[in-house]
Amino acid sequence: MSEEKYKILVVDDDVHILSSVVELLQRRGYIVKAWANGADALKYFKNETFHLIISDIKMPGMTGIELLDKIKEIDTAIPFILMTAYGDISAAVDAMKKGAYDFIEKSLDLLDRLEFTVNRALQHRCLINENTILKDTLQKRWQYIGKSSSIELIRQLVQKIAPSKSTVLITGESGTGKELIARSIHFLSNRHNGSFIKVNCAALPEGLIESELFGHKKGAFTGALQNRSGKFELASGGTLLLDEIGEMPVGVQAKLLRVLQEKEVSKVGGDETIEVDVRIIATSNRDLELEVKKNNFREDLFYRLNVFHIHLPPLRERLDDIPILVDHFVEKCNSDNGLNVTGVEESAIKKIIAYSWPGNIRELENAIERSAVLTMNGKINAEMFSFKNRIHSEEDGLKPGMTIAEAEKNLIFKTLEFCNQNRTKTSEMLDISIRTLRNKLNEYGVQKE
């Protein structure tokens, strides 16, 4: 600890105790400043940086308690240790309630106890600083970029609802940043030390969703070779993200509703129940109210999830945010790839704003990364961007009299071609689930990836 060169401010009107404390701390390698009264110590503190304060309680003029109050107005996190005579212990206890770190009686073992308490206080200070840095880093990592009025309202709502346990439903097109908002809510909540578990409801085969969510017992079905904990159990004490919940089969929706109501799960093939403490955040790129009307989604589950609703606007509706997002992604690319791209030319910004961005922020980030890697240094120019919007013209196979099924098939194949046969990107661009795309391709006789 002494190698850190911590600075400690010591205040005591008893010259003998003051000199003994200063000598002890200096021997341990600390930088020590000493004052005989609280008023002078406070003036010095306002112009210097200290890591710890040690003060007597009873002093002429400003007492140690009064000094504590003034110090905490300036720096709430700094540890403050009080030295007290036996008769002042009740005052020292009251000082602890005001934010003092600890108090030490002025007894024969004062210096030994003080050395131990100083080490502990500075370790505590380090831990607080590390947690603050970690929290700031996480908040910056999961921040939602933008200055438009719609994004500012979303940011304010996230700040308000994050500390609660309430369920949140986040909707918006693919690529608008729904998972980013979900993670932001988690890391701003009181559950940030717990797990953040994500379940992609669209990617799981229907027969495995129940096992994935609730777990299963050994032998519950073919292939269940051992007991397995479900996502609810793993997320207990933290947050469970049900991504693209609109793709969840109706039968599983009923079981999910029961878990949300009773706060306990039963593993597939098991009889006993397991209590779970989970905050639920659900996302969907579908209009769930419309899905309820179509009988594709349970109305009671929708209301259970829709305690707080956050709808993320598509990028084409927040054009003012595009220059800010571009700068952010350029900076990120430089940091991740060791590049030296200085920015984006104005002509390129205009070209970016003029594009419709069907893939939203995800597509924009990919476009910036591709351009930055190709540019490597200097500014990105307009020629680096080559956009192909979705196909609607007769030249591309759509013509009057064509059936909806034929048009749908043609659009799927055209989009697959545009995405280089990448089914995940194709489903995102078409705003359908990967399961729906897979089923459609099976209908068309396309079996393999």
pLDDT, tens digit (0-9, with 9 covering 90-100), for 241-271: 999 999 999 889 999 999 999 999 988 888 8
- For residue 243, what is the enclosing H or E element? strand 239-243
State percent of the chain over pLDDT 90.
54
196-200 β-sheet, strand order? 196-200, 239-243, 279-284, 168-171, 308-311
In 3-state terms the chain splits into helix, strand, coil percentages (rounded to 5) of 50, 15, 35
- pLDDT over 70 (residue 32): yes
pLDDT given at position 1? 43
- pLDDT over 90 (residue 163): yes
The mean pLDDT of 445-449, rounded to a whole number, is: 64
* pLDDT band at 395; cut points 50, 70, 90: very low
Whether the CB-CB separation of 376 and 340 falls below 8 Å is answered with yes
pLDDT given at position 131? 67
286-311 confidence digits (pLDDT tens):
999 999 999 999 999 999 999 999 99
Ranking 79-88, 124-133, 337-346, 372-381 by mean pLDDT, the lowest is: 124-133
> Phi/psi at 281 (nearest 5 deg)?
-125, 125
* pLDDT band at 411; cut points 50, 70, 90: confident
pLDDT given at position 84? 86
| Strand-pair partners of 198 | 241
Q: Rounded to two decimals, what is the model's pTM?
A: 0.62
pLDDT given at position 393? 43
Q: Domains of the chain (ranges plus CATH)?
A: 2-138 (3.40.50.2300), 144-313 (3.40.50.300), 316-384 (1.10.8.60), 394-443 (1.10.10.60)
